[in-house]
A and B are shown apart, each in its own frame.
Chain A
């Protein structure tokens, strides 16, 4: 399918997962367009994070395939690849709880995230180029962490850690970035700023986001896929999804807005 390659970055084909008899995902199909922000929403336990785990190689699907179409390279089947191979091929992932290296400085965190030099030998004799240093500085400026460059990541505030982790995904220049609840634990102004950052990112990359905060979804979603009990309920623009009666019944009416308060 040549048109798929040009238009889409990721194709999730009929993915099912069973955990010890529990059907976490059933026949999930989704395509992610290039340079869009694609949201996955749904109540707790809908399988959003599991889906992300499958894309980045943390969980193996029982059935189905995930195909990745990187820019200027041939498509690759992500299912069956190791997580570090997937990361090297250009899929970045930010976890739900901020996971940065707390005993390293912000700059060192960024240095480790940079593309390339991931082998043992590469690490032993690594020297940062000027270009890489500029890349780090620019990315940190984007998330307002430039002043904290030499601070230990552990001393940052919660929101700053989230931004640092996003910046660590950006600095490795992936084709696809996956963010699991990037605004979790952030106040309104911080969340809004995260949204602005995302819109900035999408000019260069494709982004998948899991989020509960509906204001945040409204602010920056291009496409929204609603998951419910491991199945795709519907897919569409924010407005389409919000108006849909089934979505309102299973998710929004049942505390979508309530979730946003947390």
Chain B
């Protein structure tokens, strides 16, 4: 029974992947009119990757991080600086000149090389989260205390990036950049857009497959064990803190990967993605989709963002924030498993209940048995 359900989930993911993959073609054929919508779908792919990472530590391991925006931005800034330097030809950028620098600072020099950029874009968040995670988890900080620390971390990052304006362009961030394949705007650059879009899609598929494998092997079972009973896990002979550090680091890398892809679609990155509220938005994606299932993270990220895309402009613009807050509360209160939990567990359970009430004789018999036992 169980492999069947998980196969169904994988099937569902493949369908989502197909639908996403077809969207640029549909745009080309004219079925989809709005090119900005397809561009937005590209961003949704990136959000899904970040959501999977968050689901691994929150949904599976029970560590609620409210600061993943930090890692998302680290990835995005790394990629952003590479793209910016591509545009300037590897020399100092305008905002650095305005900030008083005379030549490209040492920390940005490696970002002239694509190879080094990819390495650093993944290594910087991995090392940072590794060190932080090691210190936090070794001292057995958990629960809400960890969440508060994670918020403080992203806030520190936000303040730093604004304060170091000559290096990061402060509030404005890195703007006016093209994607890895060149400009993606306009129908003339449709090929470039497809390049970025399908690259993101392939990365999402890879991340999904890796995460499903991870959660199905003993490592994944151990993550659930840590969530269910951390003490029991320690006393079963596992060094829980190193497992927590590992999964925290892995999810940070996924967030960075998502950020790096995102900037290709968005064309700019600002510190606003490092704020606490943005990090909490990521948590909402996972909560609504269904924590503890990789598919749930993907579904949640895409659905919430699609809603936001459609509702946050026009008449609903003022209401949107309230609406998403309301959705979050309702989900946490009544549908703990999110949309996936609703479809795979809560609805079938309700149907079974309804069926049982239809067959009254069975119920009476069960009652009689109960009396006999008593």
Q: How many residues of B contact A (CB 8 A)?
A: 25
Q: Is the CB of B221 within 8 A of A118?
A: no
Interface 9-mer from A68-76, A96-104, A214-222, A241-249: A96-104
Does A229 belong to the interface (CB within 8 Å)? no
- Minimum distance in angstroms from B225 CB to a CB of chain A: 4
Q: How far is the CB of A175 from chain B (nearest CB, A)?
A: 13
> Which residues does chain B contribute within 8 Å of A99, judged by CB atoms?
229, 231-232
Indicate if the CB atoms of B218 and A113 lie closer than 8 Å.
no
User: Contact check: which of B217, B238, B246 meets A118 at CB < 8 Å?
Assistant: B238
Interface of B is mostly: helix
Contact of B234 with A83 in the complex, beta carbons under 8 Å? yes
Given that A84-B234, A101-B229 are contacting pairs, would A124 and B224 also be in contact in the complex, using a CB cutoff of 8 Å? no
Instruction: Indicate if B235 sits at the interface (CB-CB under 8 A).
Output: yes
How far, in Å, is B216 (CB) from chain A's closest CB? 11
Taking CB atoms, residues of chain A closer than 8 Å to B350 are: none
Closest A residue by C-beta to B213? A124
Report A-chain residues with C-beta under 8 Å of the C-beta of B221. Answer: 104, 108, 111-112
7 contacts between A and B (CB under 8 A): A84-B238, A84-B240, A95-B235, A103-B224, A103-B228, A112-B238, A115-B237
Contacts of A126 in B (CB 8 A): 217-219
| B192 close to chain A: CB less than 8 A | no
Given contacts A82-B239, A113-B236, 19 further A-B contacts (CB under 8 A): A58-B235, A84-B237, A87-B236, A88-B237, A95-B232, A99-B231, A99-B232, A100-B229, A104-B225, A104-B228, A112-B221, A112-B222, A112-B225, A112-B236, A118-B238, A118-B239, A119-B239, A123-B222, A124-B218
Contacts of A119 in B (CB 8 A): 239
By the criterion CB–CB under 8 Å, are A87 and B219 in contact?
no
Number of interface residues of A (CB under 8 A): 32
Q: A83 to B235, Cβ gap below 8 A?
A: yes
- Complex Cα–Cα for A119 and B232 (A): 16
Interface residues of B (CB under 8 A from A): 2, 214, 217-219, 221-222, 224-225, 227-229, 231-240, 242-243, 246
Docked-complex contact B219 and A123, CB < 8 angstroms: yes
- Give the residues in chain A near B243, CB-CB below 8 Å: 120, 123
**A228 contacts the other chain (Cβ, under 8 Å)?**
no
Residues of A within 8 A of B225 (CB): 101, 104, 112
Closest Cβ of chain B: how far from A96's Cβ, in Å? Answer: 12
The chain B residue sitting closest to A154, CB to CB, is B228
Asked if A120 contacts B246 (CB within 8 A), the reply is yes
Shortest Cβ distance from B213 into chain A, in angstroms? 9
The distance in angstroms between the C-alpha atoms of A113 and B221, with both chains bound, is 11
Q: How far is the CA of A168 from the CA of B236 in the complex (A)?
A: 9
Known: A56-B235, A88-B237. A120 touches B217 (CB 8 A): no
Query: Nearest CB to that of B236 among chain A residues?
Result: A113
Chain A hits for B236, CB < 8 A:
84, 87, 112-113, 168, 172
A residues 131-186 in Cβ contact with B at 8 Å: 150, 168, 172
**Interface status of A117 (Cβ within 8 A of chain B):** yes
Measured between alpha carbons, how far is A102 from B222 in the docked complex, in Å? 12
Are B237 and A172 in contact, CB atoms less than 8 angstroms apart? yes
Q: Which of B2, B214, B229, B243 has the most CB of A within 10 A?
A: B229
**Is A123 a contact of B217 with CB atoms below 8 Å?**
yes
